[in-house]
Structure 1
Amino acid sequence: MKVGLMGFGKTGKAVASVLLQSDEVKLQWVVRRSHNLEHRSVPEFLGINARDPGMIYSFEEYTAQQLLDRLPVDVIIDFSSEQGVDYYGEEARGRKIAVVSAISEYSPEKREYLKYLAEETRVVWSPNITIGINFLMIAAKVLKNIAPYTDIEIVEEHFKGKPEVSGTARKIALALGLPEGAIKTIRAGGIIGIHEILFGFPYQTVRLKHESITREAFGNGVLFAARHVIEQEAGLYGMEDLMIPYFNLGG
């Protein structure tokens, strides 16, 4: 499976390292806004022995059409910004290239645009694309359905400089029908990300907790999403849609 990567910040670099070490995918290119590192080899830059082309280009050097004519891909993975989809969207739709987006938030207009792309190709959008956090969310909804009378609290912890409430925590609250005020935030040191859901029963407590140890966790989620969405029909999917079939423990 040939993939292209949008964005090469801290998380993008971690995702690229996972892609380069996977036998399932071939990293064709990376596109970023900055001209820094332009024409550098990603495997060389990251110190990973890989045969993937993996060259870095800027948004301004090639149009998406030119880049995809030269280096076609099956899946575009987006860790850039809300505007990243403007670069590749029409080409992905026209060529039916699958899209896996981990952008934390889109404007209403951009969400509609994702739906437009999904009319012709497969699109996965997951603000937190780690396997663990999406498993946690599904498990939490199952538990709430079993015991809707429980007290539920959400606690999220991140690095000291993160100003806003975690988008993942807001998504958890929305999925559980809770107000944003139910979210407790902790900011300390260099915590990458911890999310905990506490269910307070009268005579017992259940805690569902996920911790991102390194940003490579996002790369594992991307591989899962790319592998599974490529098998789907055109449409807009979340990680939950791809993971739910694994909750069938029968047989």
Structure 2
Amino acid sequence: MAKKIKLGLFGSTGKMGVAIRQLLKSDSDFSPLVEVCSKPTGDFEESFSDLKKIPAATLKQVDVWIDFSRPEGLMDLLPLLQQTKKPLISGTTGFEGNQFTKVEAASKKNPVFWASNMSVGLWTVRQAIKALSTISHFDFALEEIHHTQKKDNPSGTAVTLHKDLEKAVGKKIPPAVGHRLGGVFGIHTITAASQSEMIKLEHNALNRTVFAEGALKAAKWIVKQPSGLYSMDDLMKPTSKGKK
């Protein structure tokens, strides 16, 4: 029998934490070991309300951490990871100042997987964006819609798509127009238009399960990787290497 992956989940009662916990109930590859949240969920062997309260012995047992918290929470988690040299999967966005440089620094000693969006479908859209280089003379617009609780605007996904688009067409594109409406999980649309035709690339997340599935897929993959900063490109193209 294969050894189960002992999982630490930072933010287990948040929206993404709930989605991950649901998938863990039917995924025999994982052993839910530690959760960090305001109130125990009963889905993990141990629960802590504060990272600093986790015993050193328990930290050493965790094989991989998944983080969908806030930038300030991730900044608190990084030093603990560096003590144990354990891998991290993070989908946290909304970084300010030099916060992401600390994530990059942590990847010098730990395997760190970060993605603004862990949907396999969204990654496929990003590959399709590269083909827009053939119509770089068109006009382009980027739009996104998220639920009203989404704090960063534009979202991390919109920022990533904007960078992809500018790289593909080789020119500056207006930043994404973001809307915060109802309970929308995430809709991202790229429009390309000339005087004669219009093209739309759109990704619509129907639930948070797609992001949770991506996170668990990444967790299974990263436990076999050396230190480095990894992305969806590394996960979807196993022959590529993380940034060292």
Same fold (TM over 0.5): yes
For residues 98-113 of structure 1, what are the structure 2 equivalents within 5 Å?
98-113=87-102
* Gap change, CA 1:230 and 1:150, over 3 Å in 2: farther
* Gap change, CA 1:133 and 1:119, over 3 Å in 2: same
Match of 2:120 among 127, 131, 134: 131
- The SS at the match of 2:207 is coil
The alignment's TM-score, normalised by the length of structure 2, stands at 0.81
Deviation (angstroms), 1:77: 0.4
Is the Cα contact below 8 Å between 1:64 and 1:91 reproduced in 2?
Answer: no
Aligned-residue Cα RMSD (Å) equals 2.7
Give the match for residue 136 of structure 2: 148
Deviation (angstroms), 1:102: 0.6
Identity level (%):
27
* Gap change, CA 1:235 and 1:132, over 3 Å in 2: same
For residues 48-127 of structure 1, what are the structure 2 equivalents within 5 Å?
53-59=44-50, 62-63=53-54, 65-69=56-60, 72-127=61-116
Deviation (angstroms), 1:154: 1.4
CA separation in 1, counterparts of 2:75 and 2:215? 21
Give the match for residue 193 of structure 1: 186
* Gap change, CA 1:153 and 1:93, over 3 Å in 2: same
The alignment's TM-score, normalised by the length of structure 1, stands at 0.79
Give the match for residue 209 of structure 2: 216
CA separation in 2, counterparts of 1:102 and 1:4? 14
Mark the runs of 5 or more structure 2 residues left unpaired by the alignment: none
Kindly report structure 1 stretches of 4+ aligned residues shifted beyond 4 Å: 160-163, 201-204
Deviation (angstroms), 1:245: 4.8
* Gap change, CA 1:81 and 1:113, over 3 Å in 2: same
2:28 is the counterpart of 1:27: no
Residue type at the aligned position of 2:162: A
Q: Aligned residue pairs: how many?
A: 230
CA separation in 2, counterparts of 1:117 and 1:83? 15
CA separation in 1, counterparts of 2:91 and 2:103? 13
Is the Cα contact below 8 Å between 1:144 and 1:150 reproduced in 2?
Answer: no
Deviation (angstroms), 1:6: 0.3
Give the match for residue 5 of structure 1: 9
Residue type at the aligned position of 2:147: F
Give the match for residue 159 of structure 1: 147
CA separation in 1, counterparts of 2:54 and 2:46? 15
Any idea what the Cα deviations from partners look like across 1:10-58, whole Å, max 9, x if unmatched? 22111221123212222112112x2xx23x412xxxxxxxxxx444321
Any idea what the Cα deviations from partners look like across 1:46-96, whole Å, max 9, x if unmatched? xxxxxxx44432116723625314xx1211000122122344323322432
CA separation in 2, counterparts of 1:88 and 1:160? 27
Mark the runs of 5 or more structure 1 residues left unpaired by the alignment: 43-52
CA separation in 1, counterparts of 2:55 and 2:75? 10
Match of 1:227 among 212, 220, 230: 220
